[in-house]
């Protein structure tokens, strides 16, 4: 059940280039939020910008976490792109932040057999929303594809390296790893995934990336879930400002905030 609550900023620091890591103490949300769900964060106490901004949770530690020092903490990995995210860079230790969460449906986890392969494929800051999934599926066959325009856009790799996973990196300018898009890299590695085994593929990133994935991946081999991004007015289903077209016969237009943000990629009808 979403709740509006107030968290306290523990830390807010620039990690690289345009990317910041915001750490908030907010046990009520840390106890509830699941991989792929998001929060609406009030970025300003005045009216500019007026609307809350949606953010995924990169890491969260519930009240029963073994490391007592981490309990109740949430991390948001964000990229500064406009007024709201610029304002967030001014958040200081001890400052109160108003949050509504948990919102959205979240990722559906793969069924349990330990042979199930799991692929995470993220572009830019989209990889942050996949990190909680990686923590949950760590004991399975996990392959992680991380992409960005340049090496400055490659995120979370240090954390992924601590897991039992195979990591693939692509940059469009070739400054790190494979030169090309993360989709090109993924397609070049397809032979690594057994054709007779269902592979769960989870993705998050820019629309262009998700669209390319839809067009170029055979859905028979992969069950693809994607977390979509959309401009959001309310974040909880009231304004219909975030709709995406799907191939559901009864309800073709679905709200990214309420019916998503996670959808099966095969259900999305890209309109751009
Ligand atoms: C479910 C969800 C989870 C998200 N999680 C994260 C996250 O973990 N980290 C992160 O950095 N960002 C995340 N975003 C995107 C983030 O919400 C936007 O970057 C932010 O709202 C921009 O606010 P702004 O005021 O700085 O930019 P604005 O001034 O509002 O816009 C600046 C530029 O960014 C583009 N933009 C703004 N919002 C979006 C959006 N939602 N999708 C695509 N383009 C947008 C605009 O078109 C414009 O070009 C998420 C979005 C959604 C819907
Ligand atoms: S943002 Fe209002 S319905 Fe989705």
Q: Which residues contact 101 (CB under 8 A, 6 or more apart)?
A: 2, 3, 5, 29, 32, 33, 37, 38, 39, 40, 57
Percentage, residues of the chain above pLDDT 70: 96
Q: Which residues contact 191 (CB under 8 A, 6 or more apart)?
A: none
Higher pLDDT, residue 196 or 118? 118
- Is pLDDT of 21 > 90? yes
- Is pLDDT of 209 > 90? yes
- Is pLDDT of 50 > 90? no
Phi then psi for residue 225, to 5 deg, are -110, 140
Predicted pLDDT of residue 220: 72
Sheet containing 96-103: give its strands across: 53-56, 38-41, 96-103, 3-16, 19-25, 73-79, 59-60
Phi then psi for residue 125, to 5 deg, are -70, -10
- pLDDT band (50, 70, 90) for residue 272: low
128: tokens are 């942050």
Predicted pLDDT of residue 219: 67
* Closest to 200 in 3D by CA, of 267, 268, 111, 139: 111
Give the pLDDT mean for 243-251: 94
Which ligand is nearest the CA of 204, by number? 1
Give the pLDDT mean for 35-45: 95
Handedness of CA 224, 229, 234, 240 (dihedral sign): negative
Q: How far is the CA of 13 from the centre of ligand 2 (A)?
A: 30
Predicted pLDDT of residue 113: 65
- Is pLDDT of 71 > 90? yes
* Closest to 152 in 3D by CA, of 79, 205, 207, 83: 79
Predicted pLDDT of residue 74: 97
Asked if 95 contacts 10 with a C-beta cutoff of 8 angstroms, the reply is no
Q: Which residues contact 79 (CB under 8 A, 6 or more apart)?
A: 18, 19, 20, 85, 124, 125
Give the pLDDT mean for 61-84: 95
Predicted pLDDT of residue 247: 94
- pLDDT band (50, 70, 90) for residue 222: confident
Predicted pLDDT of residue 117: 85
| Greatest pairwise CA separation for the chain in angstroms | 56
Q: How far is the CA of 118 from the centre of ligand 2 (A)?
A: 30
Which ligand is nearest the CA of 231, by number? 1
Q: How far is the CA of 233 from the centre of ligand 1 (A)?
A: 12
Report whether residue 242 contacts ligand 2, using a CB cutoff of 6 Å. Answer: yes
Helices within 59-172 (DSSP H only): 83-88, 131-136, 157-161
Give the pLDDT mean for 66-79: 96
Q: Which residues contact 259 (CB under 8 A, 6 or more apart)?
A: 105
13 CB neighbour count, 10 Å cutoff: 9
Predicted pLDDT of residue 138: 63
Ligand 2 binding pocket mutation candidate from 234, 253, 254 (most atoms within 8 A of CB): 234
pLDDT digits (tens, 9 = 90+) for 159-176: 999 988 899 999 999 999
Predicted pLDDT of residue 218: 75
Q: How far is the CA of 223 from the centre of ligand 1 (A)?
A: 26
Strands 141-148 and 165-171: parallel
pLDDT digits (tens, 9 = 90+) for 109-141: 887 766 678 999 999 999 999 999 998 886 668
Give the pLDDT mean for 174-202: 90
Residue whose pair of structure tokens reads 């910008």 in the numeric block:
49
Measure the CA–CA gap between 10 and 259, rounded to whole angstroms: 32
Pocket of ligand 1 (CB under 6 A): 38, 49, 53-56, 76-79, 81-85, 125, 128-129, 229-232, 261
């Amino acid at each position: 059940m979403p709740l509006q609550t107030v968290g306290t900023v523990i830390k807010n620091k620039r990690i690289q280039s345009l990317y910041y890591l915001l750490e908030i103490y907010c046990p009520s949300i840390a106890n509830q939020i699941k991989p792929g769900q998001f929060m609406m964060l009030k970025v300003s106490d005045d009216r500019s910008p007026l609307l809350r901004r949606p953010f995924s949770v990169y890491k969260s530690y519930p009240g029963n976490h073994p490391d007592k020092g981490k309990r109740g903490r949430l991390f948001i990995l964000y990229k500064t792109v406009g007024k709201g995210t610029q304002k967030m860079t001014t958040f200081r230790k001890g400052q109160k932040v108003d949050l509504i969460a948990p919102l959205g449906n979240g990722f559906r986890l793969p069924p349990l057999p330990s042979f199930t392969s799991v692929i995470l494929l993220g572009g830019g800051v989209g990889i942050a929303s996949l990190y909680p999934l990686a923590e949950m599926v760590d004991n399975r066959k996990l392959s992680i594809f991380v992409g960005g325009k340049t090496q400055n856009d490659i995120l979370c790799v240090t954390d992924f390296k601590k897991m039992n996973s195979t990591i693939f990196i692509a940059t469009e300018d070739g400054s790190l790893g494979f030169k090309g898009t993360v989709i090109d890299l993924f397609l070049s590695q397809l032979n690594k995934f057994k054709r007779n085994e269902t592979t769960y593929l989870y993705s998050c990133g820019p629309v262009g990336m998700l669209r390319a994935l839809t067009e170029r991946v055979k859905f028979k081999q992969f069950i693809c879930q994607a977390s979509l991004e959309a401009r959001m007015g309310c974040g909880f289903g009231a304004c219909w400002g975030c709709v995406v077209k799907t191939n559901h016969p009864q309800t073709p237009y679905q709200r990214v905030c309420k019916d998503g943000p996670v959808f099966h990629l095969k259900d999305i009808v890209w309109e751009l």
